[in-house]
Chain A
Amino acid sequence: MSDPREIEKMTTVDRCPVAFPLRQPGQSFPPPQYLEFREQEGLVSTTLPSGELVWLVTRHEDVRAALTDPRISSNPSHPGFPRAAKTGGVPSQDEVPGWFVALDPPEHGRFRKTLIPEFTVRKVREMRPAIQQIVDERIDAMLAAGDTADLIADFALSVPSLVISSLLGVPNADRDFFETRTRVLVTLTSTDEQRQAASKALLRYLNRLISVKQKRPGDDLISQLLADGTLSKQELSGVSMLLLIAGHETTANNIGLGVVTLLSNPQWIGDERAVEELLRYYSVADLVAFRVAVEDVEIGGQLIRAGEGIIPLVAAANHDGTVFERPDEFDPSRSARSHVAFGYGVHQCLGQNLVRVEMDIAYRTLFERIPTLELAVPVTELPIKYDGVLYGLHSLPVRW
């Protein structure tokens, strides 16, 4: 939206757009300016790397309103849909059929209904032994390799990656392939060419995998969905791609950051409430829910015109002091349940129950089996992802 007429349309509030990316090197987390944004009347706007202006929603109440308003769409084929990176962003159904997080009701419902039975609280509880085994094996490998590790590569990333790939039936041997492609897609500075190549490669790979499973079904979700037949083969590739991507990077970032916090708050290790509070506190998917208004709509006292982009910032909502007392403190004794780290409304994270179990098992087992675990670098030197769609650490050097 670099067209000046478009910009004029947005200046319903006489205020300059704030700088993007919202996370800047050297800052604390969440970005301190979120407090300011929440306290301002109306909404603030920012200019994305694509040149587009978008409205930023930061109050808890407004984020929930934006994520449930039927006049606000998740579908990138609507004009004005914001793009996170220079040109790329949320794929349309033409690019990735079955990428249902980018569909609105009622089309979205068919996908959601097909998948939700696989991610219920009970179904995920049944996966506990398998997840425990994956976690134990990762720790065995770390212990066998010496007395230092990069806890991101060796644990925080490998655990959710192995969990989602074994659930889907994606061979472990291909981890490096899909993790590398995913990283391109979740990096704000990736070029258009890199992004398209990564997306195409993943889709091609999953298409092939699905053809193999058509001939030789396995005991996995992809085979089961194929047999079920509700989704076309093409849609199934996109659905699998969404699950694979959403299933590992987000959780990896949250597990890694949580280890750092628990190392300095050991009294909370093993307490279930710590997981919920870590989800709220870090809100790694702050820049994930992108939307566009398809009709004029008012959010937080701000008139948003049809065709204007909106980003509900879940980290800002989760640090709203009117909902969470002393929001910038890590305090698992609070009731964190009303956080929106998994979004809100019909697109509310499908994998959230899986995430809770993965984080719970990961922390319990890690600190129980390696009680002398400590950071190998000062906490201020940990490399934070400032260029990521997701908040997290590039690496986490530890020793024991």
Chain B
Amino acid sequence: MRISVDTDRCVGAGQCVLSAPDVFDQDDMGIVLVLAEPADEPAREAARRGGATR
């Protein structure tokens, strides 16, 4: 699973961080950061819930 983010469309709500804290974070401006690719299937599932679609 490759994760790319469109920071222009990020609304800064933090939903991704809550769903998959190992994968996503927010920078100081509240915009999405990708910390790491999800390691296993549960992590991939969490990342999908957090907004990753593929």
Interface residues of chain A, those whose CB is within 8 Å of chain B, are 112-113, 116-117, 119-122, 335, 337-338, 342, 345-346, 348-350, 352-353, 356
Centre residue among B13, B17, B18, B26 by max chain A CB count within 10 A = B13
**Contacts A346-B11, A352-B13, A353-B14; A116 near B29 (Cβ below 8 A):** yes
A117, B11: Cβ atoms closer than 8 Å: no
Closest to B17 in A: A121
Q: In the assembled complex, how far is the CB of residue A360 from the closest CB belonging to chain B, in whole angstroms? A: 12
Does A113 lie within 8 Å of B29, measured CB to CB? yes
Residues of B at under 8 Å CB distance from A? Answer: 11-15, 17-19, 26, 28-31, 49
Q: Which residue of A lies closest to B16 (CB)?
A: A121
Contact A117 B14 (CB under 8 A): no
Considering only CB atoms, which chain B residue lies closest to A338 in the complex?
B49
CB-defined A-B contacts under 8 Å, sample of 13: A112-B12, A113-B12, A116-B12, A116-B29, A116-B31, A117-B30, A120-B12, A121-B17, A348-B11, A348-B15, A349-B13, A352-B14, A353-B14
A117 near B29 with CB under 8 A, answer yes
Residue of A nearest to B26 (CB): A120
* Nearest 7 CB-CB pairings of A with B: A116-B12, A116-B30, A121-B14, A120-B26, A121-B17, A120-B30, A348-B13
Find chain A residues with CB under 8 A from B18 CB: 121, 337, 353, 356
| Contact indicator B11/A345 (Cβ below 8 Å) | yes
Within 8 Å CB of A113, what residues of B?
12, 29
Kindly state the separation between the CA atoms of A116 and B30 in the bound complex, as whole angstroms.
6
Kindly report which residue of chain B lies nearest to residue A276, judged by CB atoms. B18
CA distance A119 to B15 in the complex (A): 12
| B19–A342 touching, CB < 8 Å | no
* Known contacts A335-B49, A337-B49, A338-B49: A122-B13 contact under CB 8 Å: no
